[in-house]
Structures are given as C-alpha cells and as structure tokens.
A = this chain, B = another copy of it.
Amino acid sequence: MSGRFTVFYRLTGNEPEALAKARDICIEQTVEFPPAYIQDERIRDHIIGKLISLQTDGAGTWLAEISYAEECAGEELTQFLNVLFGNSSIKPGIRIERITLSKRLAEVFRGPRFGVAGIRGLLAVHERPLLCSAIKPMGMSAVALAELAAQFAAGGIDIIKDDHGLANQRFCPFRERVARVAEAVSEAARRNGGRTLYAPNITADGDETLARAHFAKRAGAGALVISPALCGFGAMWQIAMDDSIALPVLWHPAFAGAFTVHADSGISHGVLYGQLARIGGADAAIFPNFGGRFSFSRDDCAAIIDACSQDMLGLRPIFPAPGGGMTLDSIPQIARFYGRDVILLMGGGLFAAGPDLVENCRTFRRLALAQ
C-alpha cells in the first residue's frame, strides 16, 4: 500500500458546516462519486480522502487536515494539483493553507535543481542579496533591449530578466531577442569581470514553452522566466527537471492573482509562492512586495519567506524575489525584512533614480552589499 500526503484546508462556516465541507472535499477531490455506490472496498478505504482532524483557529475559520493516497496523484505534478484543489477550487470558503508531501512524492517531484545555494554558486556571490532587473517596456526592439541589458550588466545586476510581457511579438521576436540579449549580457559581463545571468521569458502555448527553453539554452541564457499560471505548473516542472536544459527557473505570478486575492478562498501565499514553487521545480519565486502597488501584506510576504526555506523532505530552499514598486530608498528596509537570501527585483525604480542607469545599478549594488 502506498503512502499518503496531507493538505490543510481553511474552511469558513460554523462547526457542522466546516465538517460537512471537509467530508465533501474528501469525496470531491478523489472519487467524485456517491460512496454508497462504490463496491470496491479498496477505493472506499484508500482512494477517498481521509479527514484526519478538524480544528478551530479561534478566528471563526476551521483548519481541516485531509490525507490522500499518493497514487491518486500518479507521478505527475498536474494531477497532484488536481487532487489538491481541482473541483474544490470552485466552491467558496475553501483555502489551501499547507501541504505535507509524502516521502515518495518528494522523490518523484525532486524540487529545484539549483535553489539558493545553486544560484549563488553560478554567480559566485555568497554573502549578499542578489540584484535583479527586467528589460522593458514592451514595444522596444530586440536591439534596444540588448543595449539596456548591457547597461544593467555593466552596473553589476546579477540577474537580468525579460519583462513577463515580452513574448514573441512582431516588434521583438523571441529568438532574435534572446540571441541578442544573451550575447550583449555575456559581453558586458566579460568586460567587467562579473557574472550575470540573463533570464528570458519562455512562457508560451503548449509545447512551444519547452521549445523556447531549449532555444534559450542554446543561445546562452543563464536562467528562465516562466509564468506557470499561464502555461501550467507541469510545464515549469518538466523544464526544471530536464537535464539537457539545467537552468535556474524564476516563476512569475502573471495570471496567478485569483488564487491569493481573497483571504477565504484560493491558495495561501506561502503554499503558492513557496511550497508549490518548490514542488514545481522553481529556484526563485517572484511576487509583489508589500508596500508597493499590489496588496500583499508584510505577513503575506513573511509567509512566503518562510515557505521558501522551511523543511520539505529534502527539497532545496529557494529565493523569494520580491518586486513591484521597489526604489533605491526602500532597499535598506526591504533587505532588513527579507535577510540575505533574497533576490531584490527593481524595475522602474532604477530609471527613476537618475539619468545614469549604470550608476543607479551600482548604487543598488552598494546598498545591497551594505546589508
């Protein structure tokens, strides 16, 4: 008999309502069938989810711990997510709060290839927060974006990513951009003796995502940006596991907002940006920092930090990568909050700091070094 993994769901309602919801989840996420008409004892006793406990949190909601047979998930990330939340995502007042993998599933999914230590090793930077910026805005040509990337590299940015809105548009085709920017970054890094990773956005339709990952690898990319809410967590996982690609993966939250936008439904910040990121093979999780133009709170961000490094049966810790509305002024405060193991992602803020972009990048780097 196979092992079981556990999911903690936060449920709204009074105790009988929460209990009914919890029992319903056990059915809905597995057999989706009236148990009275199931003849097979093994299905009734093993495949149907098991309610382990239901406890009040004292704040008017309930925490239900439900275990599932790992064979329900097969050995596929997509089906694992389907068991976690497939149909129950459609019902109100149910939020995933925590996951406990089984030993076997941790071996199957394996998690990040690089994680914090691996990315630090690639960059040979071990003591300070890492610096990241994005080439943008959408509408610029590949040539202009390559020039911009060269300036970031000259200023000492560690990871230069595509804006998540750069796909394969006429004004900047994917292959041309990736080839030009990878070359420009590698040249600039050679010139200043540093190491810089260029992370193109490979998010695309169906198997084209994988094809772009392979192209990016050949063109000399140093990492990859993927938006799994758009192309599937399974696509991200497949690319992260591919030994012929073997590049760090930065997961971007585009289209994922509905999961966290309400406190009483969806998926908690820690599970989505930390646990699922790691299970899905991401080496860093990009998310909106508190205090910026998005609505994540300090507590939400603290939960992400925690979930990026908490023990998960050997899955590597990953970098939280807060971004969104970051400015040079805010760096000391942000670095204190996140600690050393963070990727600081600054976009527009680097331009707003003054006319000399390379100099602004150097200031960004000095501020990070001081932390």
Q: Which residues of A contact B (CB under 8 A)?
A: 24, 28-34, 37-38, 40, 42-43, 46-47, 71-79, 81-83, 85-92, 136-140, 163-165, 167-171, 203-210, 227, 229-235, 237-239, 253-262, 265-267, 288, 293-295, 347-348, 351-352
Contact = CB atoms under 8 A, between A and B. Distances in A.
B38 A137 contact: yes
A235 B261 contact: no
Nearest to A207: B207
Contact of A71 (B88, B137, B169): B169
Contacts of A169: 71-74, 79
15 contacts: A40-B139, A42-B139, A72-B138, A76-B205, A76-B208, A77-B205, A78-B230, A87-B164, A87-B253, A89-B229, A91-B295, A231-B232, A232-B235, A258-B259, A258-B267
Contact of A258 (B75, B82, B205, B266): B266
A271 B205 CA distance: 20
Nearest to A88: B257
B37 A351 contact: yes
The 9 closest A-B pairs by CB, nearest first: A205-B234, A89-B257, A90-B257, A31-B137, A206-B238, A86-B254, A43-B139, A207-B207, A47-B139
A254 B84 CA distance: 10
A90 B78 CA distance: 22
Contact of A32 (B71, B74, B165, B256): B165
Given A89-B258, A205-B234, A207-B210, 11 more contacts: A31-B165, A32-B137, A32-B348, A33-B137, A37-B351, A43-B140, A71-B169, A79-B168, A86-B164, A205-B235, A207-B207
Given A208-B238, A232-B235, A235-B206, A30 B257 contact: no
B32 A163 contact: yes
B237 A205 contact: yes
Contacts of A86: 164-165, 227, 230, 254-255
Contacts of A234: 204-206, 208-209, 230-231
A2 to B, nearest CB: 8
Contacts of A262: 92, 261-262, 265
Contacts of A31: 136-139, 165
Contacts of A138: 30-32, 43, 47, 72
A234 B75 CA distance: 23
Contacts of A351: 33-34, 37
Contacts of A85: 255, 257
B167 A76 contact: yes
Given A86-B255, A137-B38, A170-B71, A231 B78 contact: yes
A76 B261 contact: no
A13 to B, nearest CB: 13
- The residue among A34, A42, A74, A75 with the most chain B CB atoms within 10 A of its own CB is A74
